[in-house]
């Protein structure tokens, strides 16, 4: 049995090609366990490092913690989507590109978790649900075709950038710590979307885009509170 590298360590492109389907399934299960239950670890510096804490009132702290909890839940879902898509990808190149994007987004997971804790909050109690549902959606998208899977990534990231932009507008004007994190995340998400299109991703049908938006809205509204 082949063990999967730690979330933040990048294996060589050849490593993944040597894994059997069973190996990849076991690795995906291992990744799910660590994503949901292990503390987040970032390879890149914390974007809020050195910025003063300005969120003082209890109301503002609860609100910003809720926003960052939503973002953390979104990153749990992103990890699951990438893993589900990678598991069934036809091309090793597509598989590795999906896994690489997922590894980079583990930074987001760690940053959001740290910011939630700074504000005295907690991450979503429904993380296993977000992961399981998103993994299934990712696998279904991947089974359609690699180009559809990449198009799904592009559309997902487009919607995430919109979502993050809305959070920037909701932050207290003085909260530069949360703003720095969200802006860095938004830049990464936009780049992942562009990369997916450049790799051959195709536009999804209107109904698919609408369903994705509805599902995301349900998750974000729930994760804000639970």
How many Å apart are CA 94 and CA 199, to the nearest integer? 8
Give the dihedral sign, CA 63/211/102/132.
positive
* 3 band by pLDDT with thresholds 50, 70 and 90: very low
Average pLDDT over residues 100-117: 92
Domains of the chain, each with CATH number or no CATH: 17-36+53-223 (1.20.1260.10)
Among 7-21, 88-102, 199-213, which is the least confidently predicted range? 7-21
The H-or-E segment that residue 94 falls in is helix 92-118
Q: CA of 156: how far to CAs of 7, 22, 88, 144, 175, in Å?
A: 21, 28, 18, 16, 27
What pLDDT, on the 0 to 100 scale, is given for residue 18?
A: 67
Phi, psi values for residue 165, rounded to 5°:
-60, -40
The pTM (predicted TM-score) of the whole model is 0.85
Chain-centre distance for alpha carbon 25: 20
How many Å apart are CA 9 and CA 218, to the nearest integer? 32
Mean pLDDT over each residue of the chain, to the nearest integer: 87
């Amino acid at each position: 049995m082949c063990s999967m590298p730690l979330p933040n360590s990048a294996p060589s492109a050849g490593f993944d090609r040597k894994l059997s389907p069973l190996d990849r399934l076991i690795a995906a299960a291992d990744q799910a366990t660590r994503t949901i239950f292990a503390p987040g670890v970032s390879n890149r510096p914390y974007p809020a490092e050195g910025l003063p804490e300005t969120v003082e009132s209890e109301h503002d702290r609860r609100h910003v913690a809720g926003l960052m909890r939503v973002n953390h839940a979104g990153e749990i879902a992103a990890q699951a989507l990438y893993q589900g898509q990678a598991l069934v990808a036809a091309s090793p190149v597509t598989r590795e590109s999906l896994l690489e994007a997922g590894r980079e987004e583990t930074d987001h997971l760690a940053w959001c978790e740290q910011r939630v804790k700074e504000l005295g909050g907690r991450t979503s109690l429904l993380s296993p649900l977000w992961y399981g549902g998103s993994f299934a959606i990712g696998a279904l998208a991947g089974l359609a075709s690699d180009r559809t899977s990449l198009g799904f990534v592009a559309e997902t990231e487009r919607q995430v950038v919109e979502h993050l932009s809305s959070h920037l507008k909701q932050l207290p004007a003085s909260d530069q710590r949360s703003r720095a994190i969200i802006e860095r995340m938004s830049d990464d998400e936009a780049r992942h979307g562009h990369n997916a299109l450049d790799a051959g991703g195709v536009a999804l049908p209107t109904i698919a885009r609408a369903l994705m938006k509805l599902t995301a809205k349900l998750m974000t509204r729930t994760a804000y509170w639970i």
